């Protein structure tokens, strides 16, 4: 089973300066463990919303909106693509990812199984 883990952040509730050196070291350790376990297929942080583009389609008409997206209270800050045996295993890896961040981070992940049909 493949799962996409979407990492959601509220920019108003993230520590000043972003991740510190300890978080980066702990995250690298977790990524190494996930890689050795064969569950991590890919992961990355995303560039700031100021550099993004949204394309919205309503009634067949498309509108292009360049970032930053000021109306957003949260954004997707990164992702992990996992290969696991179950939904519960994917949720456990995602939970471990959250724990690495510690109490100073207000962060959420959404774990979604990929629809591998077709």
| Structural domain boundaries in the chain | 2-113
Reference 101, options 12, 16, 26; nearest CA is 26
Q: What is the pLDDT of residues 49-108, one digit of tens each?
A: 889 999 999 999 999 999 887 777 788 999 999 999 999 999 999 999 999 998 889 999
CATH of domain 2-113: 3.30.70.1060
Residue 54 near residue 9 (C-beta atoms within 8 A): no
CA–CA separation, 45 vs 111, rounded Å? 16
Stretch (H or E) spanning 80: strand 75-83
Predicted confidence at residue 117, as pLDDT, reads 65
Give SS3 for 92: helix
The yes-or-no verdict on residue 12 having pLDDT over 90 is no
111 upstream amide cis, omega within 30 of 0: no
Q: pTM for the complete prediction? A: 0.87
């Amino acid at each position: 089973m493949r799962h996409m883990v979407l990492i959601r952040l509220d920019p108003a509730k993230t520590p000043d300066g972003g991740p510190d050196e300890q978080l980066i070291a702990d995250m690298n350790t977790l990524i190494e463990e996930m890689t050795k376990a064969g569950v991590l297929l890919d992961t990355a942080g995303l560039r700031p919303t100021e550099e993004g583009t949204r394309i919205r389609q309503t009634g067949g008409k498309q509108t292009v909106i360049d970032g930053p997206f000021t109306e957003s209270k949260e954004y997707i800050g990164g992702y992990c693509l996992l290969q696991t045996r179950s939904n519960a295993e994917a949720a456990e890896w995602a939970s471990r990812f959250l724990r690495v961040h510690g109490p100073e981070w207000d962060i959420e992940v959404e774990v979604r199984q990929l629809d591998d049909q077709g």
